[in-house]
């Protein structure tokens, strides 16, 4: 039955799935070359057209980019800022798995600027969660999240290293996430950030700061994240308002 099911999958899709698994497992990293159409056709014993179809399918998914006259290369994961998605969801959409190492998880009382962003009294208890995010066992971002300790009791006991924070908020606390206001800029990594991300000090990193709101337009979470610039790229869709 398994053989029959496999044979029912188009050849181009089998090639697509094979390469997607290799990318997801970290066997092919962002920037690395992918086998050419001719090489794939030879390896998988398919036509050149089938191999071309497989690469085109991977490109549509954002997993590879094809450079005319040069070759096909693994793409850096895309951050789609026109959609409110968690890092886990972003990577899952590209066939990748996000993992987290919790570096800090506690309630703090001295983050007055953050309290103001969350429209909380300045002396409020605030959950501070710092996570080093990994994919294919390599670090790609350092994220710090802040949430109200009163609104999210026992959050620190949740499986924060395994589960998507968005998923936990939606399922455990019945939160309905609406939109985020974001600031995006580039900066040089300080010594601590560089060490955690495995990059040279002063390397460029992408910084994204977000205030995430509920569908009732109430600020729920503030996030500050540093992302390796060699492993991420922004994808922006802009709409022109009708006159």
Domain architecture of the chain: domains with CATH = 2-74 (1.10.10.10), 78-235 (3.40.1410.10)
- Higher-confidence residue of 203 and 81: namely 203
Instruction: Determine the pLDDT at residue 4.
Output: 44
Q: Please, are residues 134 and 73 in contact by the beta-carbon 8 Å criterion?
A: no
Instruction: Determine the pLDDT at residue 62.
Output: 76
| Residue 92 predicted with pLDDT over 70 | no
- Higher-confidence residue of 233 and 206: namely 206
7 Cβ contact list (under 8 Å, min separation 6): none
Instruction: Determine the pLDDT at residue 22.
Output: 83
Instruction: Determine the pLDDT at residue 86.
Output: 60
Instruction: Determine the pLDDT at residue 230.
Output: 73
Token couple for 95: 């066939």
Instruction: Determine the pLDDT at residue 89.
Output: 62
Q: What is the mean pLDDT of residues 79-102?
A: 66
Structural element, H or E, at residue 99:
strand 98-108
Task: Give the end-to-end CA distance of the chain in Å, rounded to a whole number.
Answer: 57
Instruction: Determine the pLDDT at residue 80.
Output: 55
What burial class does residue 228 get, using C-beta atoms within 10 Å of its C-beta: 0-12 exposed, 13-18 middle, 19+ buried? buried
| Residue 5 predicted with pLDDT over 60 | no
Q: For residue range 10-50, what is the model confidence (pLDDT) as tens digits?
A: 898 999 988 888 877 768 877 788 998 889 999 999 999 99
C-beta atoms surrounding 15 within 10 Å: 23
Q: What is the mean pLDDT of residues 208-231?
A: 90
C-alpha to C-alpha distance for 40 and 137, rounded to whole angstroms:
27
Q: Which long-range contacts does 172-178 make (Cβ < 8 Å, 24+ apart)?
A: 175/214, 175/220, 176/214, 176/215, 176/216, 177/84, 177/212, 177/213, 177/214, 177/215, 177/220, 178/84, 178/213, 178/214, 178/215, 178/216, 178/217
Mean pLDDT across the chain: 85
Nearest partner of 126 among 145, 143, 107, 144, judged by Cα: 107
37 Cβ contact list (under 8 Å, min separation 6): 48, 51, 52, 55
Instruction: Determine the pLDDT at residue 218.
Output: 94
Q: For residue range 137-186, what is the model confidence (pLDDT) as tens digits?
A: 778 889 999 999 999 999 999 999 888 899 999 999 999 998 888 888 99
Q: For residue range 173-199, what is the model confidence (pLDDT) as tens digits?
A: 999 998 888 888 999 999 999 999 999
| DSSP E strands, 116-155 | 126-135, 138-148
Q: Please, are residues 82 and 237 in contact by the beta-carbon 8 Å criterion?
A: yes
Instruction: Determine the pLDDT at residue 231.
Output: 66
């Amino acid at each position: 039955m398994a053989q029959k099911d496999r044979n029912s999958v188009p050849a181009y899709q089998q090639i697509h799935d094979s390469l997607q698994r290799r990318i997801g497992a970290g066997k092919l990293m962002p920037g690395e070359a992918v086998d050419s159409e001719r090489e794939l056709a030879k390896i998988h014993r398919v036509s050149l057209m089938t191999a071309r179809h497989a690469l085109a399918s991977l490109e549509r998914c954002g997993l590879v980019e094809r450079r005319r006259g040069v070759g096909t290369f693994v793409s850096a994961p895309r951050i789609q800022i026109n959609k409110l998605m968690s890092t886990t969801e972003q990577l899952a959409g590209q066939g990748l798995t996000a993992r987290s190492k919790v570096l800090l998880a506690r309630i703090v009382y001295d983050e007055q600027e953050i309290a103001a962003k969350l429209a909380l009294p300045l002396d409020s208890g605030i959950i501070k969660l710092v996570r080093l995010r990994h994919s294919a066992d390599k670090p790609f971002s350092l994220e710090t999240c802040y949430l109200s300790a009163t609104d999210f009791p026992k959050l620190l006991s949740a499986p924060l290293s395994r589960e998507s924070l968005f998923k936990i908020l939606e399922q455990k606390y019945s939160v309905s996430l609406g939109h985020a206001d974001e600031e995006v800029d580039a900066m040089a990594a300080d010594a601590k950030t560089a060490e955690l991300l495995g990059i040279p000090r002063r390397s460029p990193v992408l910084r994204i700061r977000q205030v995430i709101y509920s569908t009732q337009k109430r600020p729920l979470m503030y996030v500050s994240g540093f992302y390796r610039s060699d492993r991420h790229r922004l994808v922006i869709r802009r709409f022109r308002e009708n006159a």
